[in-house]
Amino acid sequence: MGFFNMDERKESAHAGIMDSIIGEKAKFKGEVLTSGSISINGEFEGRVNSEGEVIIARGSKIHGDVRGASVIVSGSVDGNITATQNLEILKTGRVHGDLTGGKIVIEEGSSYQGKVNVERRKDDECQEPSL
């Protein structure tokens, strides 16, 4: 057993709370709808829609749109990504598509091509100070 790098530590920290996992040797085509979290470690073509966290692991390949509460990308995505909360592209992540999220972090060393749209949630809006 070797030492984990930063991406592996981040992914393994979430591994214990995953509701669904697509294995690294799996190739899946279609649509995934889940109210929980999902980790994609293999190849997926289609649409992912999760009310929870979506982790796209290093070495994985997604061809299609991804939507989740929080999305972490260490692999490759050819499609649009929407995160209602946080969207993070780690240094090993590669994305070709538009990004939409409440908070977006793109690490140095990652690759990204597309448009970025940061949307404030209503509960994050600044309130006028009362006098």
What residue ranges in the chain does DSSP mark as E strands?
A: 20-22, 27-34, 38-40, 43-50, 53-56, 61-63, 66-73, 76-78, 81-89, 94-96, 99-106, 111-113, 116-118
Alpha carbon 130 to its chain centroid, in Å, reads: 38
pLDDT, tens only, 69-122: 999 999 999 999 999 999 999 999 999 999 999 999 999 999 999 999 888 765
Q: What is the pLDDT of residues 73-85, one digit of tens each?
A: 999 999 999 999 9
Domain borders along the chain are 19-119
- Express each pLDDT in 44-64 by its tens digit: 999 999 999 999 999 999 999
pTM of the model: 0.78
